[in-house]
């Protein structure tokens, strides 16, 4: 008899964005004439930058000739891409990461979801609240939690990110082993200062804990004081792993390319306290379970590091940031408290009523999709998240409709 993984029964019935998507389908079926505008899931709408398209085409053409054809690539990623990442994303900001510490993958969602495999089943996991649901659900699947009670899983340590702390959680008041951090934050749009990240690094060093730092939205940082990488913080090489993605930076949500940076000096420990480099474990996992991102996609990704590629991806994030500013302006003009939207594509809106009820109100009254804050955790109750990923005209129209509905 094949027995089911019992931990799956603890999960909420469906993944947040699948749940929302079902509600949208139902609404559209019932209202076929309504033109729905999606400011829910953070999915990009603008085409790939021309530099990426050109490199993509060229690489596809190479695959058409016996001379340049490529079969399996290196699981860790082609050197040309890892070199470009190390140089432009790390050395350029004074962060010491070498090309062989980069692991190219098909998404930060997969990487942040898979990484927990490397830890003991009784590892104590800390997550911010609200939180990107992937961090939580994958630990539930692995059996690191108890039941879901009053909006939280037993056994997880939740770190409240609330208006009072500017959505940057305080250090835990107990010892934890693994800490998920995400800045610029999904869903709140908050950013962490150098001093705040330094406190987290110091905590991790003192407690031999590990920080899993999700920097998928770093391309939206405009304030020069805000660090782009955890590795800009002294001592982080011993206690942190960083996840990045080309999805939001360069419009790769459908093209798929991301990477993890794992310093060789970052350790995990066995029962006797003997250290093992995390790098070796992830390398073993990656080479066993992953066969690499396709060559044309890696060429397209590497093109963002050329001079014109850099300009084009900057224009792309500026495009969405213009939406973000407009959303924040209109929604706060309606009297709602808003966070995010300046160094982030997400605007976190305090609606002071049930998140799903507000979501439904905007959907029914304005045909605009947002994301209910409570879907990200109990501290998200009373909030919605609005995504700036859409075309200017659609965002303008959505805001006009919302204004008309709520003014």
To ligand MLT, the closest distance from the beta carbon of 109 in angstroms equals 4
User: Which residues on neighbouring strands pair with residue 349, listed in sequence order?
Assistant: 338, 384
| Residues, the chain | 407
To ligand MLT, the closest distance from the beta carbon of 188 in angstroms equals 11
Q: Which is nearer to ligand MLT, 77 or 189 (CB)?
A: 189
Angle between helix 295-302 and 50-63 (nearest 10): 150
To ligand MLT, the closest distance from the beta carbon of 107 in angstroms equals 8
Residue 339 backbone phi and psi in degrees, to 5? -120, 165
- Which residue, among 175, 166, 178, 170, has the nearest Cα to 135 in the 3D structure? 178
Q: Which is nearer to ligand MLT, 41 or 60 (CB)?
A: 41
Q: Which is nearer to ligand MLT, 109 or 228 (CB)?
A: 109
Cβ neighbours, 10 Å, residue 308: 13
Tell me the three state secondary structure of residue 188: coil
To ligand MLT, the closest distance from the beta carbon of 44 in angstroms equals 9
Q: Which is nearer to ligand MLT, 145 or 186 (CB)?
A: 186
Residue nearest to ligand MLT (CB): 42
Q: Which residue has the tokens 């213009």?
A: 322
To ligand MLT, the closest distance from the beta carbon of 141 in angstroms equals 16
To ligand MLT, the closest distance from the beta carbon of 119 in angstroms equals 22
Binding mask 6-35 toward ligand MLT (x if CB under 6 A, else -) reads: ------------------------------
Q: Which helix (H) or strand (E) holds 200?
A: helix 194-207
Query: Does 42 help bind ligand MLT (rule: CB under 6 A)?
Result: yes
CA 132 and chain centroid, separation? 7
List Cβ neighbours of 134 (8 Å cut-off, separation of 6 or more): 109, 112, 113
Q: Which is nearer to ligand MLT, 109 or 299 (CB)?
A: 109
Q: Which is nearer to ligand MLT, 55 or 347 (CB)?
A: 347
Measured CA to CA in angstroms, residue 225 lies from 92, 170, 173, 229, 343 at distances of 15, 20, 28, 12, 11
| Positions in 238-297 near ligand MLT (CB under 6 A) | none
CA 167 and chain centroid, separation? 16
To ligand MLT, the closest distance from the beta carbon of 238 in angstroms equals 28
Which listed range, 41-49, 168-176, 196-204, 300-308, lies at the site for ligand MLT (CB under 6 A)? 41-49
Which listed range, 37-45, 284-292, 326-334, 397-405, lies at the site for ligand MLT (CB under 6 A)? 37-45
Q: Which is nearer to ligand MLT, 78 or 183 (CB)?
A: 183
Omega within 30 of 0 (cis) for the link into 354:
no
Which listed range, 27-35, 38-46, 160-168, 321-329, lies at the site for ligand MLT (CB under 6 A)? 38-46
Total residues contacting ligand MLT by CB under 6 A comes to 5
Asked if residues 394 and 44 have their Cβ atoms less than 8 Å apart, the reply is no
Query: Does 110 help bind ligand MLT (rule: CB under 6 A)?
Result: no
Query: Does 186 help bind ligand MLT (rule: CB under 6 A)?
Result: yes
To ligand MLT, the closest distance from the beta carbon of 226 in angstroms equals 20
To ligand MLT, the closest distance from the beta carbon of 315 in angstroms equals 21
Q: Which helix (H) or strand (E) holds 262?
A: none
What is the gyration radius of the CA atoms in the chain, in angstroms?
21
CA–CA separation, 194 vs 179, rounded Å? 17
CA–CA separation, 371 vs 359, rounded Å? 7
Residue 179 backbone phi and psi in degrees, to 5? -125, 125
Binding site for ligand MLT (CB under 6 A): 41-43, 109, 186
């Amino acid at each position: 008899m094949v027995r089911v993984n019992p931990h799956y029964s603890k999960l909420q019935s469906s993944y947040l964005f699948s749940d929302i998507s079902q509600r949208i389908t139902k609404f559209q079926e019932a209202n076929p004439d309504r033109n729905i505008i999606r400011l829910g899931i953070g999915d990009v709408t603008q085409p790939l930058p021309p530099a990426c398209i050109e490199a993509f085409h060229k690489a596809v053409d190479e695959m058409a000739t016996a001379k340049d054809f490529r079969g399996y690539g290196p699981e860790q990623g082609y050197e040309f891409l890892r070199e470009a990442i190390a140089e432009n994303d790390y050395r350029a900001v004074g962060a010491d990461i070498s090309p062989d510490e980069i692991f190219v993958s098909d998404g930060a969602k997969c990487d942040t979801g898979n990484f927990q495999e490397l830890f003991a089943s009784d590892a104590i996991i800390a997550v911010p609240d609200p939180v990107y649901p992937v961090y939580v659900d994958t630990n539930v699947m692995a059996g690191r939690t108890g039941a879901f009670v009053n909006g939280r899983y037993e056994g997880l340590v939740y770190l409240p990110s609330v208006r009072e702390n500017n959505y940057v959680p305080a250090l835990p008041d107990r010892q934890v082993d693994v800490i998920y951090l995400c800045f610029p934050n999904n869903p709140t749009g908050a950013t962490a200062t150098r001093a705040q990240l330094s406190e987290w690094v110091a905590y991790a060093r003192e407690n031999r804990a590990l920080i899993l730092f999700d920097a998928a939205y770093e391309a939206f940082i405009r304030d020069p004081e805000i660090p782009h990488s955890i590795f800009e913080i002294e001592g982080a090489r011993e206690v942190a792993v960083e996840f990045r993605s080309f999805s939001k930076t360069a419009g790769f949500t459908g093209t798929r390319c991301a990477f993890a940076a794992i310093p060789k000096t970052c350790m995990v420990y066995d029962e006797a306290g003997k250290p093992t480099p995390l790098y070796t474990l992830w390398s073993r996992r990656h080479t066993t379970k992953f066969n690499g991102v396709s060559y044309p996609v890696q060429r397209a990704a590497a093109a963002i590091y050329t001079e014109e590629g850099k300009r084009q991806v900057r224009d792309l994030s500026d495009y969405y940031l213009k939406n973000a500013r407009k959303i924040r302006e209109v929604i706060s003009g309606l009297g709602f408290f808003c966070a995010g939207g300046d160094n982030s594509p997400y605007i976190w809106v305090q609606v002071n009523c049930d998140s799903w009820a507000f979501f439904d109100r905007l959907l029914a009254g304005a045909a605009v999709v947002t994301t209910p804050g409570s879907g990200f955790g109990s501290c998200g109750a009373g909030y919605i998240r609005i995504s700036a990923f859409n075309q200017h005209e659609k965002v303008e129209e959505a805001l006009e409709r919302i204004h008309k509905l709520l003014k």
